[in-house]
Chains A and B, each alone.
Chain A
Amino acid sequence: MTSTAGIAPANPHEVKPQPPRGRKLTGYWLILPAALWLGLFFVIPFYSLVSASLYDPDGSVLTGYDMTWHVANFADAIGQYKAQILRSLAYAGTATLICLVLGYVLAYAIAFKAGRWKNLMLVLVIAPFFTSFLLRTLSWKLILADDGWVVGIAQALHVTNLLNLLGLTSTDDRLLATPFAVIAGLTYNFLPFMVLPLYASLEKVDIRLIEAASDLYASPIRGFFKVTFPLSLPGVVAGTLLTFIPAAGDYINAELLGNPNTRMVGNVIQSLFNTQLDYATAGALSVTLMAIIIAAVLVYVRTAGTEELV
């Protein structure tokens, strides 16, 4: 778990604590209210969730659940919803990769090419946050509508045929209600989470190092892959995690832009909790999702090998 600590946007070198001032206990008093709140409503709920996942599945919300340490809930949940779990990981992974490419271009442009427009561009990156997430996602329904011009152009360029071959659409005359639409929605919605950490990382890159590479006859492309990109790795790691994790748990895009065959694990958890009131299975599925994500994050952070993060 400790390895996730370092991907906080703040640079660990910057938060070097200043020498203690005032009484020794002040720090505790200042952090106490926030710590209590997070303890009560973030840490303890996890414990509740784990215990809910071990309830006797025969209980119900009305009659109450018995705690029977029913570990089989996990096997049942995973067996029943394997397809949705794998689909969530595949969609979120694809969206994260596309976000990385698009986000890197945008972050690079802001950090190195924007000049005095830097601040304005940064504001514009977060501006979409201020219009409702749901409304923006619904907009895609209109943009990708069957008789819209996006579909028209895609058909004319035979992009729809290509997507169909890749298995991203099921028929070649539409984009909405296909895996393509869900992945496009995820990419769109989580892009800012990729851009901001990438920018923070790129901005710290010492431009003189890139110049030095070019003085030593490195081509711009070689300079980028040998100097700039490795130096931006902390941002790449932070950005991919901040994009992948929420995307893997999201169900809004799958619900609004997809079809019953694009349901993700979030849709299942949501409907088990809210509609079917099957808290035991829902809890088991939720814990499974969290466990998969933690495991994936640990492996990823180790492999990405950015020591200062771990």
Chain B
Amino acid sequence: MNGVRRAKRWLGDHLVLGLGLLVLVYTFVPIAVVVLMSFNDSSRSRNVYKFQEFTLEHWLHPGDWAPGMADSVWLSVRIALFATLVATLLGTLAAFALVRHRFAGRSSANLIIFLPMASPEIVMGSSLLALFVSSGFGGQLGFWTILIAHIMFCLSFVIVTVKARLSGLDANLEQAAMDLYATEAQTFWRVTFPLVLPGIVGAALLSFSLSFDDFIITNLNAGQSVTFPMFVWGANQRGVPMEVNVIGTAMFLISVAIVLLVEITRRRQAKALAA
């Protein structure tokens, strides 16, 4: 009887974990395909949705990349960098205001910050386009209008991420610093800021990848500029060059490396604090 119960229990424990792992594996299948296709020699056949032959060509000779792709990647990188910089700065300040200060309009501020995350991108993108057109900037769509849009949608995610980190902080640590005669500035730079930093770094990473990856809002506000997702979209109509998969794979590897690095640093810090 006991054995049956134990077996049932083992099954209960491991069945859910197994199913969960299956779901996780499923989310990686398309990424495996992207990686695989970055080694695909598609020059002999027009069917770009089929693996033909292994080649390192796309990785070794970035100079032969499809025309326009390098420019689109570079544009996306620049926009993502600027958007991340501005959104992280403004968002961090706002997060501090919302968690550490009481002021009238706090709850409406929280609502307005949440709304961009809850609006369909097509509505956000089209409303910005309507603004640009009605205020006479319809002819100047390009780098600046994309950047404005990206800062707008990254901002909410930064605020929420930093806020979560900040509200999880033990206020007693700051109190203790003050009790030990640290000035407000010293307390901030020596205690608060280092503790919030992982949250800020996380927010910046999120914002970079959101910006680099956005298609729907960008496509509406880009005019003649072509970002990397727009390049992929356009290429899809002609047959996707396999080189885009090189960029996809590289993006994945770089960001996983960064996330791991952040995680390792965080663990070291935690250990150092505990010691």
Contact = CB atoms under 8 A, between A and B. Distances in A.
B21 A109 contact: yes
Interface of A: 1-2, 4-5, 7-10, 14-18, 20-22, 24, 26-31, 33-35, 37-39, 41-46, 48-49, 51-52, 61, 102-103, 105-106, 108-110, 112-114, 119, 121, 123-125, 127-143, 145, 147, 188, 191-192, 220, 241-242, 245-246, 248-252, 256, 266, 269-270, 273-274, 279, 282-283, 286, 289-290, 293, 297
Nearest to B27: A128
Contacts of B119: 245, 290
B116 interface: yes
Contacts of B229: 132-134
Contacts of A27: 97, 100-103, 106
B98 A31 contact: yes
**Chain A binding surface SS class:** helix
A36 B229 CA distance: 29
B7 to A, nearest CB: 14
B209 interface: yes
12 contacts: A8-B117, A31-B98, A48-B130, A113-B13, A113-B17, A130-B255, A131-B252, A139-B33, A270-B220, A273-B126, A273-B129, A286-B127
**Chain B binding surface SS class:** helix
Given A145-B49, A245-B120, A251-B122, A188 B115 contact: no
A131 B23 contact: no
B236 interface: yes
Contacts of B247: 132
B124 A4 contact: no
B111 A2 contact: yes
A131 B34 CA distance: 9
Contacts of B148: 41
B111 A31 contact: no
Given A37-B152, A52-B133, A266-B216, 20 more contacts: A8-B110, A20-B101, A29-B97, A34-B113, A37-B90, A38-B155, A45-B124, A45-B127, A46-B127, A128-B28, A129-B209, A130-B252, A132-B247, A134-B232, A138-B236, A188-B30, A251-B122, A273-B220, A289-B120, A290-B123
